[in-house]
A = this chain, B = another copy of it.
Amino acid sequence: MRLAELSRRSGIPTATIKYYLREGLLPPGRRVTATQAEYDDAHLQRLRLVRALIQVGGVPVASAREVLTALEDDSLDHNSRLGTAVWALPHGPEPSGDEVFQERAGRTVDALLARLGWNSAREYAAESPAHRMLVTAVAALARLGYPCTVEDLAPYARAGHQLAVTDLDLIERYESADEQLEAAVALTVLYEPVLLALRRIAQAQESHRRYGQRSTEE
């Protein structure tokens, strides 16, 4: 298909598609004349992922390019490609300067992972951006004096594990390895607001159940 049809079928303006092509987020089409190129279903599929990352997930263009590069890296096995792609996603703010809290949080997180038996997570801790994100978040809780012991964190980790099982079951519905990789990245990003919204709705629901119209004068 030509650019105009790619735009029509994807619902993305041609100017935006050209921008994605220039930024290397979309592989070039097959040249047919000096000014025209031919695109196929793989381009349509790729556009969908780019939209999920950039337009919905708010992932910066440079990070999106890293994610896509990892997905296409034939030198890596399936699990490593997936890991590398998810690692290229943004992971929240960098650690602040407070090294004492950061180190202490690192020990708490290591104790948590040991307790859970998440041994490969412990093994790859030094390279994992999600691990750094967790340590930074725990350090922030500790610095402000909010609860964040291994016992406090364990129920959140158990919920995280259930979510991961649900995520991977969802991903396994896709047949080819390439589709699974793409879905893994897209669903990781797209289900984050679903999860955070459901937690807040459930908080309101549970608060209503526990406290109802409790007056402040009681």
Contact = CB atoms under 8 A, between A and B. Distances in A.
Interface residues of A, number: 86
Contacts of A177: 216
A83 to B, nearest CB: 6
Contacts of A215: 77-78
A203 interface: yes
A134 to B, nearest CB: 4
Contact of A194 (B153, B167, B191, B213): B153
A160 B201 contact: yes
B194 A137 contact: yes
Interface stretch (A16-24, A33-41, A61-69, A144-152): A144-152
Contacts of A83: 204, 207
A168 B177 CA distance: 41
Contacts of A191: 137, 141, 156
A113 B208 CA distance: 15
In this complex, the member of A131, A159, A211, A213 whose beta carbon has the largest number of chain B beta carbons within 10 angstroms is A159
Contacts of A58: 93
25 contacts: A51-B144, A56-B144, A77-B213, A77-B215, A78-B211, A78-B216, A79-B207, A82-B207, A86-B204, A113-B201, A121-B204, A131-B201, A133-B193, A133-B197, A134-B194, A134-B197, A159-B159, A159-B166, A160-B201, A160-B202, A163-B202, A164-B205, A167-B203, A188-B203, A192-B196
Closest CB pairs A-B (n = 7): A160-B198, A164-B202, A134-B197, A130-B200, A137-B193, A133-B197, A160-B202
Interface of A: 48, 51-52, 56, 58, 74, 76-79, 81-83, 86, 91-93, 113, 118, 120-121, 124, 128, 130-131, 133-134, 136-138, 140-141, 144-147, 152-153, 155-157, 159-168, 170, 173, 177, 183-184, 186-188, 190-216
